[in-house]
Amino acid sequence: MSGVRTPVEAPVEVDGLLEVAGLVVDLPGARGPVRVVDRVTFDIPPATTVGLIGESGSGKTMTANAVIGLLPEGAATGGELRWRGEDLLRASPARRRRLRGHEIAMIFQDPLAALNPTQTIARQVGEILRRAGRPRDEVRRRVLELLERAGIPEPAGRMRSYPHEFSGGMRQRAMIALALAGSPALLLADEPTTALDVTVQARILRLLRSIQQDEGLAMLLVSHDLRVVAHVAHQVVVMYAGRVAERGPTAAVLARPAHPYTRALVDSVPAVRTRTALAHPLPGTPATPANRPPGCAFHPRCPLARERCRTEEPEPRTVAPGRWAACHFAEELLQR
């Protein structure tokens, strides 16, 4: 655990701003629908950051895309996505468009692909304000404030810049400014630091944490990097093969994992402060929704697997106060 830093204590939990209950997402496949998100359940209280972690193909990004309504064509959904009590899966497309950007906003993984290369940064950040009918002077003033809040140096002089004139870190800051333009209550951040070097990554994480705390926003942080989630998130949801393996307070989950997959993720993080500590890569190949084995999806890679794991799928259940895990032997693991 020396390679993973634990975050500040979570705020007192209240009713969820966003409640994800039994979320299902099916995508069309060559042999029929593929269930890429399978009965995922968690909630995001106001002013709280929830980390969604797992290896590639675990369903993290698809879960976030379902929240904001950006699923691929042909996707079918089930379960519930309750936003302030309203089920978004049953909302009209017009209603989802009104929410997007205003109440729920997204910071994409690749800002160069997400930003329009033919428009200035100021024009893109100000678009949502112009569509709201704000006066021109007010739009310019607010864009300047947003660029400054996102940490862009000399923002007045960079308003007329195009995305290709910004560095990777600066483009990500511009994406953050764009996401904040509609004054959302929830930010979805999909791998926001993956393409950045370590020092820039740390600055972006500090910025996101500062914005979340100062603005009182809720945030869903999607990442495969445990250290990123540990630095920012109050709660963590661990996904494997489209399902939730474990969820609970970040500090507790990372200190004492209740699922072998979470334990393996923690052990795979190298300790950066000691020369002797080594990382332990996860063995085997990650299961995906398209090749999910019977029983527990993690059992082919699990050192604790027993016969029951190979035939019986574990259901998520409470294993400690505020802790849930989908493992037949979670209580045993917690006692180790």
Query: What is the total count of domains within the chain?
Result: 2
Same domain, 88 and 208: yes
Q: Looking at the domain assignment, is residue 90 inside a domain?
A: yes
Q: Please state, in angstroms and rounded to a whole number, the distance separating the CA atoms of residues 301 and 260.
A: 9
Q: Please state, in angstroms and rounded to a whole number, the distance separating the CA atoms of residues 48 and 44.
A: 7
Same domain, 264 and 204: yes
Residuewise pLDDT in 10s, the chain (336 residues): 445 544 444 433 446 799 999 999 999 988 889 999 999 999 999 999 999 999 988 999 999 999 999 999 999 999 999 999 999 999 999 999 999 989 999 998 888 888 999 999 999 999 989 988 899 999 999 999 999 999 999 999 999 999 999 988 889 999 999 999 999 999 999 988 876 777 788 888 889 999 998 889 999 999 988 888 998 999 999 999 999 999 999 999 999 999 999 999 998 887 544 454 556 778 888 988 888 999 999 999 999 999 999 999 999 999 999 999 999 999 999 988
Q: Looking at the domain assignment, is residue 293 inside a domain?
A: no
Same domain, 133 and 262: no
Same domain, 98 and 141: no
Same domain, 210 and 93: yes
Q: Looking at the domain assignment, is residue 324 inside a domain?
A: no
Q: What is the pLDDT of residue 271?
A: 59
| Domain endpoint, select from 183, 213, 231 | 183
Q: Looking at the domain assignment, is residue 328 inside a domain?
A: no
Same domain, 155 and 131: yes
Q: What domain range is 124 assigned to?
A: 117-183
Q: Looking at the domain assignment, is residue 318 inside a domain?
A: no
Same domain, 42 and 27: yes
Q: What is the pLDDT of residue 1?
A: 42
| Domain endpoint, select from 157, 183, 209 | 183
Same domain, 137 and 207: no
| Domain endpoint, select from 131, 152, 183 | 183
Q: What is the pLDDT of residue 15?
A: 60
CB 180 within 8 A of CB 211: yes
Q: What is the pLDDT of residue 112?
A: 81
Q: Looking at the domain assignment, is residue 274 inside a domain?
A: yes
Same domain, 251 and 131: no
3-state secondary structure the chain: CCCCCCCCCCCCCCCCCEEEEEEEEEECCCCCCEEEEEEEEEEECCCCEEEEECCCCCCHHHHHHHHHCCCCCCCEEEEEEEECCEEHHHCCHHHHHHHECCCEEEECCCHHHHCCCCCCHHHHHHHHHHHCCCCHHHHHHHHHHHHHHCCCCCHHHHCCCCHHHCCHHHHHHHHHHHHHCCCCCEEEEECCCCCCCHHHHHHHHHHHHHHHHHHCCEEEEEECCHHHHHHHCCEEEEEECCEEEEEEEHHHHHHCCCCHHHHHHHHCCCCCCCCCCCCCCCCCCCCCHHHCCCCCCCHHHCCCCCHHHHHCCCCCEEEECCEEECCCCHHHHHCC
Same domain, 178 and 222: no
Same domain, 193 and 272: yes
Q: Looking at the domain assignment, is residue 78 inside a domain?
A: yes
Same domain, 143 and 269: no
Q: pTM for this one?
A: 0.89
Q: Looking at the domain assignment, is residue 286 inside a domain?
A: no
Q: What is the pLDDT of residue 7?
A: 46
Q: What is the pLDDT of residue 278?
A: 59
Q: What is the CATH number of the domain that holds 255?
A: 3.40.50.300
